Amino acid sequence: MPYPDSMIQLIEEFAKMPGVGRRTAERFAMYILSAPAESVDNLSELVRKVHQNIHACQECFNLSEETICHICGDPTRNHTLLCVVQTPKDVIAIEKSGDYAGIYHVLMGALSPLEGVGPKDLRIKELLDRVKKGTFKEVVLGTSSDTEGDATSTYLMKQLKPLKVKVTRIAHGVPVGSALEFVDKATLTRAFRHRQEI
């Protein structure tokens, strides 16, 4: 017997999510069906809230409920040190390591010719505009150490060099091919301490 229409629609919506196949989508829909009303209300409210209220910080493009995120808005952080990362998840990973006191710039991806991601698809122009203001003493390239992360950092280095700012790259101990979010705390701390000027 086929599912009722709304059930099919729900399964189709879940199946659009990254990493969710048809069978998992069906399991999610079945869960919704049997979950307590309170839990389902809470979930639909949160989905709406996240979609409406969370957007990119105007300065660094990290996720924020305010126009300026809590990191950019924090006067106790070192606003002369800028770390460039690929995604908001990387910011969370670095924040968890607790060792970094500067601010961030989130590119929203990495260069990938294979997937058709070029410089214009990332927040690179915005990064250069920020650096051109001349308030940064150091820019740390914190992109992942895989092919795309490396290509991105090489490209950024070339763009940043003429701006006469010190550019470093975190490298040490970050395993090849790993996204920052999967790197453990101690490794990440070491990666920052041993960053090298490029």
Residues interacting with Zn ion, by CB under 5 A? 57, 59-60, 62, 69, 72
Phi and psi of 9, rounded to 5°? -60, -40
Closest CA to 138 of 111, 163, 174, 108: 163
For residue 59, the minimal CB distance to Zn ion (Å) is 4
Q: How far is the CB of 121 from Zn ion (least distance, A)?
A: 20
Q: Is 101 exposed, middle or buried (0-12, 13-18, 19+ CB in 10 A)?
A: exposed
Closer CB to Zn ion, residue 69 or residue 140? Answer: 69
Choose between 69 and 188: whose C-beta lies nearer to Zn ion: 69
CB 99 → Zn ion: shortest distance, Å? 19
Q: How far is the CB of 74 from Zn ion (least distance, A)?
A: 9
Relative orientation angle of helices 124-132 and 147-160, to the nearest 10 degrees: 30
Name which of 72 and 170 has its Cβ closer to Zn ion: 72
CB of 60 to Zn ion, least distance (A): 3
What sections of 79-146 are H helices per DSSP? 88-97, 124-132
Task: Compute the least distance from the CB of residue 8 to Zn ion, in Å.
Answer: 40
Q: Which of 127, 18, 142, 129 is nearest to 87 (CA)?
A: 142
Q: How far apart are CA 8 and CA 44, in angstroms?
A: 17
Structure tokens at 14: 């879940």
DSSP class of residue 38 equals H
